[in-house]
Structure formats: structure tokens, C-alpha cells
Amino acid sequence: MEKIIDENIQGQPLILDQNKQNQRKLFIESYGCQMNFSDSEIVASILSKEGFNTTQNLEDADLVLVNTCSIREKAEQTVRKRLEKYNAVKRINPKMKVGVLGCMAERLKSKFLEEEKIVDLVVGPDAYKDLPNLIEEVDAGRNAVNVVLSKEETYGDIAPVRLQSNGVSAFVSITRGCDNMCTFCVVPFTRGRERSRDPQSILKEIDELVQQNYKEITLLGQNVDSYLWYGGGLKKDFEKASDFQKATATDFAKLLDMVAQSYPKLRIRFSTSNPQDMTLDVIKIMAKHKNICKHIHLPIQSGSDRILKEMNRLHTRQEYIELVENIKEIIPECSITQDMIIGFPTETEEDHQDTLSLLKQIKYEHGYMYAYSERPGTLAERKLEDDVPEEIKKRRLAEVIALQREHCNYRHESLIGQTFEVLIEKESKKSNQHWSGRTTKNIVAIFPKEMYEIGDFVMVHIEDCTSATLLGKATGYSDNN
């Protein structure tokens, strides 16, 4: 799975409007990707109808759930530390029940339930509708588990609750699962085969968000470019569809066009893209609509063709570069960000230099870079030896991070003196006198509050920058308010 992480949401408990009739309390945390965060909203919605109000206070909870990530070893270590914390509280409050959701569930169900006995409940990503039955089992004193993967479940009929934060931005899941068998990735084994939501259910969810005055949505999927609705079923079975289904199918470009036309005042983002699946049609739709943000997260993972082949990335370095060139030709102002895995098995110094040269050629606006960590169950774990020493991984990673930081500075400095529309999302972390928001290019801008409010679209003149943010002053409201 590609990097679709918002670093600000890691571990943040969901807080819902409280139903006075609900008598039980739920504490739920989410780690990893935005899909996990979105799934937690679905879970909280299901359980709100089962008598649970959410709480920020762990000690008050009757049920504690952690939505887990298996994409990197560090994420699993974080979840384990949280489970230790939950169980320490549970020893004081024996009535508390603890459950694990998400991508760690299937792989570690026996270890968690039987060997370590640190959870009461294990639920996979496709089994959240079974939570009421599973909780009944737990209430009866029995451990409960459902990690069965589904070929149909998209949760398109569940209205997700929304985190009570700014009421400005929301995630809308459009696909589940992944068919790309990248050798480093565990997602196809933890989230199953790729399937897409009915576009009408997506539009209905977006319409509800607009009615609630949300200003921005992110269409979300492990690989949004693969979105394909032809009446239901797995994407891999599309070739078996009828002629009518094929003729009337909705792909991602059509969905994006549909959403942008239906809600011209709504900012639209999407994540994450796979280079092999992004089409010129999608890029042209982005150029066509002002309200589609001009930013593409386009993971590359390595600049070496040899390593890309080892990773089972179904594109070459040159194909990737040509895609970037097409994006820049059609949308010159579009920002491009990356994911990079450093120290993948068999990576040589020459491979590493290929990665550095790719970075220098493209000069990404931002990037997420990590040293390779072997994930149990992946093709790389079964077939490749993790043979790059840790000290070499660390050195190469440091070089990549330093170069990316240099390019962030370069990109941001080029924007000084320009004016951009910014959607105010929250107060700046460093100053309660400043607002924080993002440009259409997905770059954070900080500026004095003055008379503006969260949710306003304002024009901000950029006066300075850091490698992470733009600094400026608002010059007035944009015409999007």
C-alpha cells in the first residue's frame, strides 16, 4: 500500500455527538493510513447504534478498540505499546473489553487472543458490520474473532460519523482492497481484492457533507486510479462483465468529473495514485475543474529499474518520468509528492544513486521516505533476504531525506511573492495568533488570524517559507466563499 498517512491523526480518539440514550462508552484510536482513520469512523457509526457513546478518557471506556496498521514494523510496535497501556487500565477496570481492528487482525489473531491473551476481540477490515454479534460474544465471556475478507463489502450503505475537529475536511472512501502485488506490501493479504463503491452512494455521502458545510473532501482508496464501477463485483472480474456493464462503467476519471461538476464550490482531493494506473483522462479532468486540487501523490518507491522490478512495480523509471512530464505539461502548477523505500533487498550503491538522480530530476514538493522493514506474509519476506545492513539503510535514508528537504526549500522559495487560495483548517501549532491551511498544491500556509475563521477560503500572499510551510499574510476572501 502506498503512503496515505496524515501525520496529525495518528492515535487520535474519535469523538462523536453524544446520544443520551446510549449507556456504554467507546474509546477508539486509529494508526496508519487514512483508510484506517476512515474505517474507524465507520466502526464508531455502527457502534453508536449499539448503545456506545465515544469518550476521550481511556479509563472511562467499556470498550477500547485500536485500528491497526501492518505496513511498517514501527506501526506494529506502536500498537503493541498501546495494547500494554490498555491492559494496564483493564487490570484496574476488569469490565473493560479490548479489541483490535484492521490490518494486524488476521495475521496476529491467534497470538493476541490465545498466546498473549491481551485482547478480547479481533475484527478484520471487512467484518465491521459483525461487531454487534462479536460484542455479544465478548459480553458473554467468550473471545470473538472475525477476519474473513469479503469480495463485496464496501460499507457504501454506512454513513460514517465525522471527527469533531474543524468540520472542514473529510475522507470519502471509494475503493477497498488492492490487486497490486507489490512484493513489499501486506495490504492485498489484509484488505483483500479490489472492489469499488457505487458512485451514487459516493455522491450521496458527499452531498451529506456539503449539507453539513464541509468545504473539502478527499476521495480515498489504496489505489484511487483503479476505481471501476460496473454494477458490483471485483475489478479483476470486469472482463467477464456484460457488454452493457462495460459500456456504462464508471472509471475514476468519470467519477472525478461527476463529483467536480456536482459540487463546484467543494474542494476535491484524492489519494493515493499508482503510476501504472493513472491515465491522461484523470489529468485532463484535473485541469478542467478549478475545484480539483492541483496535487498528486505519486509513489515511486525507488529510482532503480532493477529494484522496481524486484518490488513488482509494474512500471519503469522512464514510464514514471514520462507520466510526470505529462502531468506538468497539462497542469504546469501541479505539485507532485512521493513515497520512497530505502534499502530494499539487494539494493546496491548504484541503485541508491539512481534514486538520488530521480529525486534531482523531479524535485518533489514533499515526500515520505522510510528504510525498508520486512513485513511477515509479503512476497519479499518469502522470497528475498533482507540483506542491506541497517547502518547502510540509515546512511542512504539520511541522504535521501537531506536531498528531499533541499527540494522542498527550492519549491517553496519559488512561491514567495505569489498569492494562493488557502482553506483555513485549524490554528497554527506554534502560535494561537495564526491560522493554518493548505493551498491547492497541498502545501501548508501559516498567516495571521485577523478577522478570518476556520472554513474560510482566503487569498494569502506568500512572504517567506520553511522547508515545511509557507508564511504569508491574507489579502482578503477568495471568490469560493
Residues 429-443: tens digit of each pLDDT: 999 999 999 999 999
Q: Where are the alpha helices (DSSP H) in 93-155?
A: 103-110, 131-139
Q: Cα 325 to chain center, whole Å? A: 25
Q: Is 478 exposed, middle or buried (0-12, 13-18, 19+ CB in 10 A)?
A: middle
Q: Per this entry, what is the length of the chain?
A: 481
Q: Where are the alpha helices (DSSP H) in 26-102?
A: 34-48, 73-92
**CA max distance for the chain:** 65
Grid cell 491515465 in the structure block, residue: 279
> What pLDDT is attached to residue 4?
38
How many helices (DSSP H) and strands (DSSP E) are in the chain? 14, 21
| Residue 430: other Cβ atoms inside 10 A | 10
Contact between 131 and 42 under an 8 Å Cβ cutoff? The reply is no
How far is the C-alpha of 12 from the C-alpha of 40, rounded, in Å? 11
> What pLDDT is attached to residue 3?
40
> What pLDDT is attached to residue 20?
67
> What pLDDT is attached to residue 6?
38
Rounded to 10 degrees, the C-alpha dihedral 323/342/222/296 comes to: -40
CA distance readout (Å), 278 to 253, 322, 327: 9, 12, 10
Handedness of CA 175, 179, 184, 186 (dihedral sign): positive
> What pLDDT is attached to residue 239?
86
List strand residue ranges (DSSP E) for 130-174, in order: 144-146, 169-173
For residue 410, the surrounding DSSP H or E stretch is helix 390-413
Contacts of 49 (CB under 8 A, 6+ apart): none
Residue-wise pLDDT for 396-420, tens only, equals 999 999 999 999 999 999 999 999 9
Contact between 289 and 261 under an 8 Å Cβ cutoff? The reply is yes
Query: Which grid cell sits at 203?
Result: 455522491
> What pLDDT is attached to residue 196?
94
Chunked into runs of 10 residues, the chain (481 residues) has average pLDDT values of 40 56 88 83 90 90 88 77 92 92 82 82 92 93 89 80 72 91 89 92 95 95 93 84 89 98 97 93 98 97 98 97 98 97 98 98 97 90 96 98 97 98 95 97 97 97 96 95 78
Bond prior to 183 in cis (omega within 30° of 0): no
Q: Catalogue the long-range contacts made by 432-441 (C-beta closer than 8 Å, 24 or more residues apart).
A: 439/470, 440/267, 440/293, 440/294, 440/295, 440/333, 441/293, 441/294, 441/295, 441/333, 441/334, 441/335, 441/365
Q: Where are the alpha helices (DSSP H) in 9-72?
A: 34-48
Domains, the chain? 7-146 (3.40.50.2300), 169-413 (3.80.30.20), 419-477 (2.40.50.140)
